[in-house]
Amino acid sequence: MGENAVESRWFPSHRGRPDAGVQLFCLPAAGMGASAYREWQAALGPGVEVIAVQLPGRESRFGEQPLSTVDLIVERLTGPLLERADRPFALFGHSMGALLSFEIAHEAVRRGRPPVRLIVSGLEAAHDRTQVRGTAHELSESELLEYVLKLGGIPPEGHEYPELVSLFLPTLRADLAVGETYRYRARPPLPVPITALAGRDDPMVDHRRFAAWSQLTRTGARTHLLPGEHFYLDAERQAVLDIIRSALR
């Protein structure tokens, strides 16, 4: 498979902002795809090129086997991402995507290509997570559906379309395994500033451990708590994008 074909799999959006000063690679939460960020480009303006990452097993890559460990995703994604990064770049991720962004930042630093900023959302500090649960990815199909409905990851009417929802559960199960099997490896703090965001009422985030993101960088961290629970990004989109725009300025 040619280089362009590989790139188009991971980054389905067109190269729409060749003059933007910074590229923002956006990684999705568990079970979600690149379309979660489809409205961000227009909202962030011409100074930022938004590049949404499409992981295997969803949307345009629905027929591919989803990857179920952080290490495997980082191994396969970092090379194409650094190829696509042709100017200063930043990383954004929500929940599982935040964990992946953190590890990709470390790998990019190791390869001599550090991002200009790491922006994480909906996740406790990677080294101090209280809820590395380790069991949700092993739930039965019906239990997994209930679990995701409770978190608000899919609409309540998901109960009405069990056959449709069941098509997405293998990818969701693999994504949950990504977070639940992750084990932090001690390394020097990143030479990259961190911006961290979370919902004030997020049951997945202990705010004391959320603040510990500052321990994982030697160039400063800022934390922001916004109204909402785990999936606060849509309701608070304008506030989130204002914070991101300011962080990348």
The residues annotated as belonging to the active site are 95
Q: Is 6 exposed, middle or buried (0-12, 13-18, 19+ CB in 10 A)?
A: middle
Nearest residue to 52 (alpha-carbon basis) of 77, 24, 30: 24
User: Pseudo-torsion of CA 11, 13, 15, 20, nearest 10°?
Assistant: -90
> Token digits for 202?
């997020």
d(CA 173, CA 137): 5
Pairing status of strand 221-226 against strand 194-199: parallel
